[in-house]
Structure 1
Amino acid sequence: MIRLPRPGGGVREYTPRPAQAPAPAGTGPLTSRTVFSAAHVVADPYADTTPDSPAAVDWDATLAFRRHLWAQGLGVAEAMDTAQRGMGLDWAGAAELIRRSAAEAKAVGGRIACGVGTDQLAAASADLVTVRQAYEEQLALVEETGSQAILMASRALAAAAEDPDDYLDTYAHLLRQASEPVILHWLGPMFDPALDGYWGSADLDTATETFLEVIAAHPDKVDGIKVSLLDAQREIDLRRRLPEGVRCYTGDDFHYPELIAGDDQGFSHALLGIFDPLGPLAARAVRVLDTGDVKGFREILDPTVELSRHLFQAPTRFYKTGVVFLAWLAGHQDHFTMVGGLQSARSLPHLARAYELADGLGLFPDPELAASRMASLLTVYGVPQ
């Protein structure tokens, strides 16, 4: 039994879930859906850094976590916002992450797609020409590694663009440059406030029309779109309007079970940050879906939504703290330290609730280890055990 803090003050007792035999892990690829987990990076806890320093990454632990995801049959979406792009991981660190992860993917036969952005620029001072050049530099690196490219939303483009035509021109140029079909990423302002008004309008209906215009002009260069707006109906409406052969990868960490399950008019594939901590459970659910058992899929995945909504609650961009926290409790890394010092971005009651929800789902391979680590953190915060 451990003592957890109450959100309004005081403490309460909690009995951790007993250890249970793990569900048998599936083997081989998932077949009914293409599923990527956006993966976090593991900081080097021994590095003498400050929040403004370049990221110090524990490469061995970071790559080991990716092997864990690949072993479940999941793809890895690399160097995305889950990896703290623009929130502790700069372009130099992201470039090294892409090179190392792509090499590891080749070695183990894992699927990988990597984020292409403009974060080598100071967003406030960039113009459209330098934005295009920055995108081209990153696209070239990703393609050189043999990885699929994910064209990420750009803070610099959001600052430099004056109207929808600037987005249409920029993306048209990039899609012509791409050697293979890419994934287009629409990240909402709840994940990054600097992206408010992306596609040239703060009105989402107007922005959607511009987004669809980009895709319609180059459908052969768009493998799919990743939508992270936390609006299930908007995603459904959008995916029904996609050209034939263009996929929708849900990035909705609030509604993913129903979006992946789909309806009689289609479904979403997945590219999700929540599938970092949920990796084995998510893979097991999709394997059930592969058999055509939608009900069984929902029975596995629906109970995880409460945890996901907790981790991604506002300010949503700090969900990475909960993701790394759960990786530590699950034994995927030996410490709860993050690049940029982001381990301080969530409160102790928030982390305690994340622990309780994850424990209830059976996410921890070793519940005793998770409880011990949770107790040690509580002690540091002054909660006696």
Structure 2
Amino acid sequence: MGSSNETSNTGPVVNPWKAKDSNESLTPGGSSGGSAAAVAADLCFGATGTDTGGSIRQPASFTGTVGVKGTYGRTSRWGVVAFASSLDHPGPFAKTVKDSALLLQAMSGHDPKDSTSLPNDVPDFAAAVGQSVKGLKIGVPKEYRVDGMPAEIDEVWQKGIDWLKAAGCEIVDISLPHTKYALPAYYIVAPAEASSNLARYDGMRYGNRVEGKDLNDTYEKTRAAGFGHEVQRRIMIGTYVLSAGYYDAYYLRAQKVRTRILQDFDQAFEKVDAILTPAAPSAAFGLGTKSDDPIAMYLNDVFTVTANLAGVPAMSVPAGLDKSGLPLGLQVITRALDEETMFKVGAAIEDSAGFGFKAEKWW
């Protein structure tokens, strides 16, 4: 779990990209950073990830790849180790928008083994790539201009706005007023669901098992050995917010905030066809530079968690490089079940950006 891939059981994944004149190992983002790094390093043409609060889109931004999550329920969660069941979105990483559309199409469709899987027909996502975006209304939310955001993030966002305007889109300033509550709500809902989901890993039926002197001792030793510190932190937070006397104050209130966030999107999509934002608040950072500060790490999800809370489709498209030569991504968000518009807009950004950069040989 986490936005830097440093809590993996086998150690951190290393981003194939390096900053100019530096040999520092950088994070590929997380938590699906392994998949993003594999695509960026040309180990494969595409890979799957799971996006619970940005775990596909933030690594895609950090590695110069395309990362997509569809509408909640569009892709089956069957076979995925559940983190937060109401937020988990499996989706693809790819090198181009067209490839990501093909992959999402292959992954989508009803699965009777997943009770949240949508029964809707799957459109031809790939056919939307390359279609004209002329006449589309693109929303730019004022709440995404956060304090302390690097100027380069703002500049690439402005470039994206200019590209879409040049392609014939109408740019509309919008407000998503409950955005500032998204991270706090997410970090209540997600750990609460994680603490419930991960209770099954008790050393009895499957997975890791450490023998103890009695049943309770076996449980305690198994979970202490089987879960890393970040997972343990989130389980403890989740158990706390679900406990008697705190459930109403935290979990129920967070769910009400989540409803408000969804209403913000519903109201915005009455005026616009898609929303354009940065994908991440920075470029890739060095391994170990933020790992001792959980709050700084959680802030990496500031632009992405809202789409998970609302269950709407979103993607990250590589749009440029920062002054250190590291990739930066733009995020496209559309209304539920309208992935076609998302791919249409994403492809228009891809064409305008002409992002042909690759990591230098990493071996």
Query: Structure 2-normalised TM-score?
Result: 0.25
Q: Which has the higher contact order (CA 8 A, sep 6+)?
A: 2
Query: Structure 1-normalised TM-score?
Result: 0.24
Structure number having the greater helix percentage: 1
